[in-house]
Amino acid sequence: MLEFDEAQARMASAGTPPNITEVCPIRQARGRVLAQTLFASLDLPPADNSAMDGYAIRLADYEPGKTLTVQQRCFAGARPEPLQPGQCIRLFTGSLIPQGADTVVMQEDGTETEEGFTITAPPTLGAHIRRQGEDVATDAQLFAKGTLLGPAEIALLASQGYAEVHVYPKLQVGILTTGDELILPGQERNDENIYNSNGPMLAAMAESLGVEVVHVLHALDTAESLENALSTLLNDCDVVLTVGGVSVGEKDLVKPAIEQAGGKLDLWRVLMKPGKPVALAHVGSKPIVCLPGNPVSAFAVFTLLVTPLIRTMQGRANVIPEVQFGRLMADRPFEEKREEFLRVRAEFMADDQPSLRPHSQQGSGIISSLPWASGFARIPAVPASMTALPSVTMT
């Protein structure tokens, strides 16, 4: 039996990080992983500018009731004239601060007439000016190699003028479900049939990590069907996930199919609940991970054990799922010999520490608990007091 942490570490190291890169337009970079460390090429903002619609003044020119002549109206994108003493320049959000000005007065804090602008609320020196470089300074590191790019990262890179970035190739993932009892959603079902939820579920989970799911195949419980499907996946994909059929039953034929393809299966029994049976094999350099067939167990194993492997193969710097801490709201003892991963909903309280409310049904067949939950609470494999702070892996 493998301790959970050992299984997670072994899975994280079961894949090889990428060693080739490609150029990706910034518009298409969402979900890609940076293959280079990027630095700022300019200050942000690149020059002092107005944070408000208002008027640029010299604070020394302000006197209660005094009217300042409006010297110029300067929109964002235009260059203002140097500010003359005793005058003001009408600005708009994003307008450059004129030479000689040191303060911006909001338009709401004064009145403009044909004679000029009269300030009605005493201004503060430097008010409403965005200073050059206050957001990002030239040569500051923006993102390290191995960063997963999302909309926020893309916004910052675009603000620095990056039109394209060097990224690692998208990881190609293939999924293989097995079992004569499974049929596709939408097909006519008999009592002996079950709709295949594992295929769509795992494809969605993998795609949420930024990989490309090349195939979602289903094989019947025959050697020929399994071997043909596995051959296709190994030919087209970087990593293969199989679901079910890896035990020792008469129709558990995944292990022989992997061996036929040249792999050797290492069956793990992990000290975790749900999801104890997990298997790992390699055909050449390509890993094959065999997940349990129960959808809840497959969901847990993918979240906790498969994601580190995928992140490693994507070239990410951080590969272990994020862990937070919270207070478990439960009224029963936990005496499992395996670490238990409860489906919980995190509810944030005034002290910013989430309260973790377990789903009322923790059976491995309760699929409805998955969309209800916001994460897994990890319970140690020993009796724990109700004041303990279990960790929660957010999904």
Q: Which two tokens stand for residue 78?
A: 């235009």
Highest CATH level, class, for 4-18+170-314: alpha beta
Q: Which two tokens stand for residue 63?
A: 């006197």
The secondary structure of 169-181 as a DSSP string is PPPEEEEEEE-TT
Distances (CA, A) of 347 to 66, 244, 350, 361, 374: 55, 34, 10, 18, 9
Place of tokens 């279990």: 390
Q: How do the domains of the chain map onto residue ranges?
A: 4-18+170-314, 28-43+136-167, 49-130, 323-394
Mean pLDDT in runs of 10 for the chain (395 residues)? 94 96 97 97 97 98 97 97 97 98 98 97 97 98 97 98 98 96 91 94 97 97 94 98 76 87 91 92 96 95 97 97 89 83 89 88 94 94 53 53
Distances (CA, A) of 218 to 177, 183, 329: 5, 9, 40
Gap between the terminal Cα atoms of the chain: 26
Q: What is the pLDDT of residue 393?
A: 54
Nearest to 319 by CA among 6, 18, 8, 35: 8
Distances (CA, A) of 150 to 142, 145, 153, 210, 243: 13, 14, 5, 10, 30
Q: Which two tokens stand for residue 155?
A: 């916004």
Q: What is the pLDDT of residue 245?
A: 77
Q: 3-state DSSP call for residue 249?
A: coil
CATH of region 28-43+136-167:
3.90.105.10
For residue 233, give the amino acid letter: L
Domain 28-43+136-167 shares a fold with domain 49-130: no
Phi first, then psi, for residue 33 (nearest 5°) are: -115, 125
Domain 323-394 CATH assignment equals 3.30.360.10? no
Specify whether the CB–CB gap between 42 and 140 falls below 8 A: no
Q: Which two tokens stand for residue 285?
A: 């350099």
| Number of neighbours of residue 215 by Cβ within 10 angstroms | 18
Phi first, then psi, for residue 317 (nearest 5°) are: -75, -40
| Number of neighbours of residue 375 by Cβ within 10 angstroms | 24
Q: What is the pLDDT of residue 164?
A: 98
Contacts of 338 (CB under 8 A, 6+ apart): 270, 271, 272, 273, 276, 381
Q: Which two tokens stand for residue 87?
A: 């005058």
Give the CATH number of domain 49-130; options: 2.170.190.11, 1.10.3720.10, 2.60.120.1310, 3.40.1440.60.
2.170.190.11
Q: What is the pLDDT of residue 278?
A: 93
Handedness of CA 340, 341, 343, 349 (dihedral sign): positive
